Amino acid sequence: MAQLLIRQLDDQVVAALRARARAQGLSLEQSLRDLLTAAARQDDALKGELARLRATTPPAGRNLDVAALIREDRDGR
């Protein structure tokens, strides 16, 4: 398993993280491990959701000239 060292954290940030860990009944280390793991999973979940949404967009819709469509609609009024 990897280890990380984070330097120059503001004392108030560390105090807030300690308080959060204490409120959860966890050590600071475990709380930070959980936070980092959740952040990494959220990023993966977001990428997956964006890929799913991108796949639902018709290929022709990905290269639309939106300005031209707006202009065309305005000219048709």
Angle between helices 28-56 and 11-24 (to 10 degrees): 90
Please indicate whether residue 33 or residue 44 has the higher confidence score (pLDDT): 33
Q: What is the pLDDT of residues 34-48, one digit of tens each?
A: 999 998 888 888 888
Please give the Cα distance from 37 to 35 (Å, whole number). Answer: 5
Whether 21 contacts 31, CB under 8 Å: yes
Q: What is the pLDDT of residues 51-62, one digit of tens each?
A: 888 888 777 666
Please give the Cα distance from 9 to 16 (Å, whole number). Answer: 11
Domains in the chain: boundaries: 11-75
Please give the Cα distance from 65 to 50 (Å, whole number). Answer: 21
